A and B are shown apart, each in its own frame.
Chain A
Amino acid sequence: MPIIQNETDKKAVIKRYKRRSMWAEVWRNFKKSKGAMTGIIILIVVLSACTIGEFIYDYHEDIVKQSFDQRLLRPSWKHPFGTDQYGRDIFARILYGGRYSFSVGVVAVIISFSIGTTLGIVAGYYGGVIENIIMRITDVFASIPSVLLAIAITAAFGQSLLVLMFAVGVVGVPAFCRVARASVMTVVGQEYVEAAHAAGAKNWQVLIRHIVPNSMAPIIVQCTLRVAQAIITASGLSFLGLGVPTPSPEWGGMLSDGRAYIRDYSYMTMFPGLAIMITVLAINLIGDGLRDAMDPKLKR
């Protein structure tokens, strides 16, 4: 049946064209948002500062080496953020420590994303028993308070950067699973999917070619916002002493170390917290901008 074949081809072409224009539209909207652009700028500044820190500081010399004649110095030109109880420069440690927060945030979300989205798409697409099983398991994990679950996981597998990533990642799986499932379900009923089926496409082809790309928008927004959340959760676990082991300059851990000195040397808790907040703020701004750009309904 050459004619129908032709029809689907045409449809695919139109669709691809549409998709490209959707992303262009998103970018146009995104650029217009002052907040999102501010977020991008802040994030670029923070990231480049951390990258520079990577090059100018040596882990052993500048980050963990103790100098007792330099203990507990208040912020000054020489030490813009002061020094800690071991005489280490807090500014250097914060710049260096950015890598932990960023890597945990990003890797944790990659974990949640890949597990969660896969499960969600499968559940949404196949429905029936598979969906039921997946969603019930998701319910179980979602109903355990996430911070407590993350704490239990770090206790179970020991403290390290990898475990921290894993714990924060696992906790985020249910949310991704639900979002992915919901957006797949809205797409599944669309005409072009039915058309693809009618044209004899296999299930997985339909999934990858049509359903995944078209349900990506809310998932991308979710990803951005989850990175922000993951950074906060990870620094919280470090704050409780369950994160990256000392003496690594993880921001949450530094904040926690500063607690004993909170009275006379409150700058020790101020700056790491500020670093977390600014980073998370930037990511949230970007996430918000993305959401507005992708969901014109909210915008107008």
Chain B
Amino acid sequence: MIRYYKSIMIILNRERDLMIRYTIRRLLMLIPILIAVSLVVYFIVDLAPGDVVDVIAPDDASPEDKELLREMMGLNDPFIIRYARYMQGLMRGDLGKSYVNNRDVFEVYFSRLPNTLLLALAGAFVAVLIAVPLGVVSAMHRGSWKDAISMIFGLLGLSMPNFWLGLLLIIFFSLKLGLFPSYGSEGWSSIVLPAITVGTAQAALVMRTTRSSMLEVVRQDYLRTARAKGVPERTVIYKHALRNALIPIVTVMGTQLGVALGGAVFTETVFAWPGVGRLVVDAINSRDIPMVTGCLILTTMLASFLILLVDIAYAFIDPRIKARYTK
């Protein structure tokens, strides 16, 4: 017994080592990516015609005043110098301050992030709520009218521009029926429409994933065995089949959540939802380079962490994948 235990521990330790090493390697790989992201973003926004002074300078400011302002903000230095200065701060963990109102980029980003997360999670919740049952029904009744309707729903959700869906929801539920507010983030009811908007497109994706992964699972022997043993059909589907089909679904949700961290720009615009997406768009429009760059660095970082988490979870579940990663 003790001998077995020992050998099991050795194997486990080695695997944990590999996992940790893998994780560390992935984190280290993230650093150059973040630096490159900052360079690309800084460069693109810098390329745009006009600068922040064109946005914030008063109507009656003279060209000399504007020049002076540029000089004070260091905007007249060549790109390399300004970027190097930015990098210097970045290395110290300082994301700089907004050109527009001098607020700390880090602080502003994290004041908006909860709204984005809330919307993303609520959207995911809506998606799961609609999509998983639909996907299961669709797979179980393959080729029937139920399948057809679910598939059509899935395609419609995927084909509908979400800013349009948002406007439609506003027309019907806010204007005509007066059920939910059409803007803002105050109170539970204001999240309903944005969450449906975000959720619908995801639902389409999750539904299709659920369907195909259910179809895959249904063919497995153990389900046949379960049925043969006289387990009721509902239990077979929801307890045995769905549980095993969930892994790809969770992966899709994880990736979607990572995407959602960048903010649902269109939904946020339509519903005046104060999330990260709007923040970045506004910052791009006012040429607030530190704000844009900082936000995108943080978004990339968080999204990468999320994907890493999903990967690690995956590796834990499936030894084949682990083997591939640790190679």
Contacts and interface: CB of A to CB of B under 8 A. Distances in A.
A228 interface: yes
A298 B219 CA distance: 12
B155 A288 contact: yes
Contacts of B266: 147, 236, 239-240
Nearest to A283: B159
Contact of A152 (B36, B45, B262): B45
Interface in A154-213: 155-158
B41 A281 contact: no
A45 B45 CA distance: 41
Interface residues of A, number: 42
A284 B205 CA distance: 12
Contacts of A12: none
B163 interface: yes
Interface string B151-172: 1000110111101100110110
Interface string B206-235: 000000100000000000000000000000
Contacts of B170: 262
B171 A284 contact: no
Given A155-B45, A273-B167, A298 B212 contact: yes
Nearest to A285: B155
Interface stretch (A2-10, A69-77, A120-128, A133-141): A133-141
A148 B155 contact: no
B266 to A, nearest CB: 5
- Chain B CB count within 10 A is highest, among A143, A239, A252, for A143
Q: Does more than half of chain B's interface fall in helix, strand or loop, or is it mixed?
A: helix
Nearest to A39: B155
Given A262-B167, A273-B168, A148 B281 contact: yes
Given A141-B40, A145-B259, A269-B167, A155 B304 contact: no
Contacts of A298: 212
B296 A148 contact: yes
A255 interface: yes
Contact of A228 (B41, B159, B259): B159
Contact of B41 (A144, A273, A280): A144
Contact of A239 (B47, B159, B163): B163
- Chain B CB count within 10 A is highest, among A232, A252, A263, A280, for A232
B33 interface: yes
Interface in A256-300: 259, 262-263, 266, 269-270, 273, 276-277, 280-281, 284-285, 288, 298
Q: Does more than half of chain A's interface fall in helix, strand or loop, or is it mixed?
A: helix
B24 interface: no
A220 interface: no
Nearest to A233: B161
A270 to B, nearest CB: 8
A200 to B, nearest CB: 32
Contact of B304 (A143, A148, A235): A143
A151 interface: yes
Interface string B246-281: 000000000000010111011001000000010011
A105 to B, nearest CB: 13
Contacts of A155: 45, 48, 284-285
A180 B30 CA distance: 23
B37 interface: yes
B303 A143 contact: yes
Contacts of A153: 44
Contacts of A218: none
- Chain B CB count within 10 A is highest, among A148, A157, A288, A298, for A148
Contacts of B292: 152
Contact of A136 (B32, B40, B175, B259): B32
Contact of B277 (A141, A148, A232): A148
Contacts of B175: 262-263, 266
A87 interface: no
A152 B48 CA distance: 8
B49 interface: yes
B265 to A, nearest CB: 5
A147 B262 contact: yes
Interface string B29-55: 000110011001100110111000000
B36 A140 contact: yes
B161 A276 contact: yes
Contacts of A239: 161, 163, 266, 269
A72 B204 CA distance: 35
Contacts of B40: 140-141, 144
Contacts of B138: none
Given A240-B265, A277-B159, 16 more contacts: A35-B151, A35-B155, A136-B32, A140-B40, A144-B37, A145-B259, A148-B263, A228-B158, A228-B159, A236-B265, A255-B167, A269-B164, A273-B160, A273-B167, A273-B168, A277-B156
14 contacts: A35-B155, A136-B32, A136-B36, A143-B304, A147-B265, A147-B266, A152-B48, A156-B47, A228-B159, A235-B161, A240-B266, A240-B269, A285-B155, A288-B155
Interface of B: 32-33, 36-37, 40-41, 44-45, 47-49, 151, 155-156, 158-161, 163-164, 167-168, 170-171, 175, 212, 259, 261-263, 265-266, 269, 277, 280-281, 284-285, 292, 296, 299-300, 303-304
- A-B residue pairs, 5 tightest by C-beta: A145-B262, A273-B164, A281-B159, A280-B159, A156-B47
